[in-house]
């Protein structure tokens, strides 16, 4: 049952939670009886930017629909979520399962276009990201359609080596299907999210809360203004709007739009190194060989996930990439000057809030940042994120919960937290919903 607030009540989330408090909350949630729920994969086809796209979404919902709670506005509670830059829906399933199995929410967890391994029901990608023939792993945007080796070159980049090490990309050849897919996918991503919400979390029945881990953050933010029934953000290790993230990172994206990042163990190392340094100081340098062995072992487990990334330039709000991709798509579709200008504007709008008096105001945002997160730190949120939102008119409600443990991969097991901080997020953010934080 929804809790009715008395006039003048004002609930606030905790500013911080200690490790001891986190363990207590997690133990309490995990001790509660489970709500039976189903997990159903929905693979659907949409038509966007003149192309067909197959997109996957996992839907978690109570077996008994009557177990879905209603919020203060009388609507049933649903969550649209999406994963981070390396993965698919499987990386964040612990959070989805907690919300469905402990609070009864209906959860839709969408995989980015191109990331789902459609040929195998397990969704495990075979082999490694680099192939013996010199080719690399590439997206599958349509069932039965594969990017051939002659559609791309493999190129290396060291421009941001101090952050990422040496990185390799599949650079689509101009005029290839790969090239046109890379120019078109942002609209497919938007249309896929809208389709999921329209069918599974319809207006008038559900209130929708969004979550996007890491790279999924900008997408979960711009969805907030594009669906009528979006109520706010559940933001654990969730990048903000792309233009704010660009300020947080301190750099633009170094490649053109037609590059797909092909991940290796280096992507794990850049996180693992920072995380253990934050936890242990300089000590890990004295066991570097051991640490590298751990990273290589982690990669053996991680490479079944997609481990490529096409979304960097939208995540970083790269205006040159967004503009060029839109123009390439407009030329392919034979758009006139006015239509081309509108498509460029649409692409550029993905990185920032929709402006103007007719735009839906940004609903309340509630972020959680973990103590040992490499990129989501209190200074960045206090000095950059909050300041950017405060400068908006109207300024949205923004709060940040500093979580006293955990890494960027918030579902990772640690002492006292078998499901990472997922049970804590389930409780704190549900309390925010039921106590009116998102009611404006």
In percent, the amount of the chain with pLDDT more than 90 equals 87
pLDDT at 215 over 90: yes
Q: How far is Cα 273 from Cα 206, in angstroms, rounded to an integer? A: 42
Name the residue ranges covered by the structural domains of the chain: 16-434
Within a 13 Å sphere around the CA of 428, how many CA atoms are in the beta-carbon half?
29
Helices (H), 88-201: 93-103, 161-164, 177-200
pTM: 0.93
Residue 202 has pLDDT above 60, yes or no: yes
**What's residue 334's pLDDT?**
98
Q: Does domain 16-434 have CATH number 3.40.50.1820?
A: yes
pLDDT (tens digit, 9 = 90+) per residue, 23-65? 999 999 999 999 999 999 999 999 999 999 999 999 999 999 9
How confident is the prediction for the chain on average, in pLDDT?
Answer: 95
Question: Using an 8 Å Cβ cutoff, are 274 and 295 in contact?
Answer: no
Using CA atoms, how far apart are residues 248 and 296, in angstroms rounded to an integer?
A: 29
pLDDT greater than 60 at residue 154: yes
Q: For residue 389, give the nearest of 362, 368, 367, 369 by alpha carbon.
A: 362
286-302 residue pLDDT tens: 888 989 999 999 999 99
Q: Specify burial of residue 419 (Cβ count, 10 A radius: 0-12, 13-18, 19+).
A: buried
The answer to whether residues 317 and 351 touch, using CB atoms and an 8 Å cutoff, is yes
């Amino acid at each position: 049952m929804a809790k009715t607030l008395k006039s003048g009540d004002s609930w606030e989330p905790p500013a911080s939670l200690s490790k001891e408090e986190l363990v207590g909350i997690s133990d309490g949630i995990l001790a509660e009886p489970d709500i039976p729920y189903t997990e159903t994969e929905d693979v659907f086809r949409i038509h966007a930017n003149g192309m067909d796209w197959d997109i996957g979404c996992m839907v978690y919902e109570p077996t008994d629909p009557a177990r879905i709670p209603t919020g203060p506005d009388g609507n049933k509670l649903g969550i649209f979520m999406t994963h981070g830059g390396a993965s698919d829906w499987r990386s964040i399933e612990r959070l989805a399962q907690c919300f469905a199995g402990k609070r009864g929410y209906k959860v839709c967890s969408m995989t980015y276009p191109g990331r789902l391994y459609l040929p195998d029901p397990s969704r495990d990608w075979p082999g490694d990201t680099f192939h013996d023939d010199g080719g690399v792993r590439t997206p599958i945007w349509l069932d039965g359609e594969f990017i051939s080796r002659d559609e791309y070159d493999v190129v290396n980049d060291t421009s941001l080596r101090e952050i990422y090490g040496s990185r390799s990309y599949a650079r689509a050849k101009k005029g290839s299907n790969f090239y046109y897919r890379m120019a078109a996918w942002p609209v497919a991503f938007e249309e896929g999210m809208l389709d999921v919400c329209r069918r599974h979390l319809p207006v008038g029945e559900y209130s929708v809360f969004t979550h996007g881990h890491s790279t999924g953050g900008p997408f979960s933010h711009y969805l907030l203004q594009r669906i009528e029934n979006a109520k706010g953000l559940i933001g654990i290790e969730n990048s903000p709007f792309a233009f704010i993230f660009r300020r947080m990172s301190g750099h633009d994206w170094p490649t053109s739009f037609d590059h797909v990042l092909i991940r290796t163990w280096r992507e794990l190392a850049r996180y693992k190194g920072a995380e253990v340094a934050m936890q242990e100081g300089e000590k890990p340098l004295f066991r570097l060989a051991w640490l590298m062995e751990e990273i290589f072992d982690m990669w053996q487990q991680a490479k079944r996930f997609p481990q490529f990334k096409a979304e960097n330039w939208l995540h970083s709000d790269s205006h040159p990439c967004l503009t060029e991709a839109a123009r390439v798509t407009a030329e392919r579709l034979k758009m006139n000057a006015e239509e081309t200008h509108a498509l460029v504007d649409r692409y550029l709008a993905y990185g920032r809030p929709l402006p103007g008096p007719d735009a839906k105001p940004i609903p309340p945002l509630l972020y959680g940042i973990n103590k040992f997160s490499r990129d989501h730190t209190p200074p960045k949120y206090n000095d950059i994120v909050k300041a950017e939102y405060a400068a908006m008119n109207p300024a949205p409600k923004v709060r940040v919960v500093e979580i006293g443990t955990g890494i960027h991969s918030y579902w990772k097991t640690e002492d006292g937290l078998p499901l990472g901080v997922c049970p804590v997020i389930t409780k704190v953010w549900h309390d925010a919903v039921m106590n009116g934080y998102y009611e404006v």
